Amino acid sequence: MQPTQTQGSVRVPDNRTILLIDDDRLQYRITQALMRGFRPAYELEWASSYEEGVELLLRRSYAACLLDFQLGRRDGLELIREVTEKGCHTPIIFLTSESSETVDIQAMEAGALDYLIKGEITSSMLERALRYALRLGVTLERLRLLATHDELSGLMNRRAFDSWLSEELERCGRFSHVLGLVLVDLDHFKSINDRFGHPAGDAVIRETGRRLRATIRNVDRAARYGGEEMAVVVTEGDGQGTTLLARRLVEVMAAEPVRLPDGSEIPVTLSAGAAWYPRDARDPAGLVAAADLALYAAKRSGRNRAMTFGEVPARPE
């Protein structure tokens, strides 16, 4: 089944639908017949063109995809590269009419997990290839998460976040969109570690990550920026939405105590600083610096509150 990424875990949805992308209706009928005896059964969905295949892969969740090498004037290698660049990680098995080492290498380099030769495919061969692709797909998804996510908080790690923020700012510049950044920092976190021990500190980080994920929208991204500091990028929003989110995160953290491993509970609060592109900064470093100034203004103002860069008191000359 297709591994679907969630922050901090690999979730495998209850999905046994296979997508076939092939411009030949006969291949659809043949594949249907080959899959008829599979146990447990799969459903087969068909896309008859390159464009339809891309649209379905990016919009829906599939256990795996069977992809024809030649799709009219375009080819499956191009399709794999396009959907992968747009974040699709559906396991793909290449279908080709010819046995060629060159095709094999090209398919694997593009991102296919296996390839089968049309005319030689048997039911058992297809079932075995699908089973292999699904298991390998889950393994690769776990590796992707390890490379891009912080294991403790379940949020993106700093390296992945910096890359994503740069890409989003570039996109916002092209389309004249607003992008918000909220930095949050747990209040008096050192005293939590000193008083209750590092397992308690880990529990607080873990719960803070969970609450951030539960509060932000699906289109937003949260990261563990460093230590007890975390960051949220608000996409397709505005300054007001960024400010409201910063305040909401403060409220959510203070609303209920955090349960520690020994069963006890402690109150935990955080402070937040918000800034947004293009009003406060026009590059990643500038945007982070603006949100950071707002964060520390919130700390100096008493903690357990949110401030925007526009609310930071002017420094004397």
Residue 13: the pLDDT is 41
- Whether 221 is covered by a domain: the verdict is yes
Distances (CA, A) of 3 to 80, 84, 171, 199: 17, 14, 27, 30
Cis preceding linkage at 91, omega within 30? no
- Whether 316 is covered by a domain: the verdict is no
Same domain, 134 and 189: no
Residue 45: the pLDDT is 94
**Domain ends where: 99, 119, 148?**
148
> Is 1 or 185 the better-scoring residue by pLDDT?
185
Same domain, 218 and 129: no
Same domain, 220 and 76: no
Looking at the chain, the whole-number percentage of residues with pLDDT higher than 90 is 55
Same domain, 193 and 258: yes
Q: Which of 167, 228, 229, 251 is catalytic?
A: 228
Residue 5: the pLDDT is 37
- Residue 299 sits in a domain whose CATH number is 3.30.70.270
Same domain, 213 and 232: yes
Same domain, 306 and 162: yes
- Whether 153 is covered by a domain: the verdict is no
> What range does the domain containing 296 cover?
158-311
Inter-residue contact 261 to 201 (CB < 8 Å): no
- Overall average pLDDT of the 159-175 stretch: 90
101 catalytically annotated: no
**Domain ends where: 120, 148, 176?**
148
Inter-residue contact 276 to 242 (CB < 8 Å): yes
> Is 110 or 192 the better-scoring residue by pLDDT?
192
Same domain, 42 and 167: no
Same domain, 169 and 296: yes
Same domain, 77 and 143: yes
Residues 189-225: pLDDT tens digits?
999 999 999 999 999 999 999 999 999 998 899 999 9
Same domain, 55 and 187: no
**Domain ends where: 81, 116, 148?**
148
- Whether 14 is covered by a domain: the verdict is yes
Provide CB contacts within 8 A for 310, sequence distance 6+.
279, 280
Residue 113: pLDDT band by 50, 70, 90 thresholds?
confident
When divided into structural domains, the chain yields a total of 2
- Residue 144 sits in a domain whose CATH number is 3.40.50.2300
Residue 317: the pLDDT is 42
Asked whether the predicted pLDDT for residue 7 surpasses 80, the reply is no
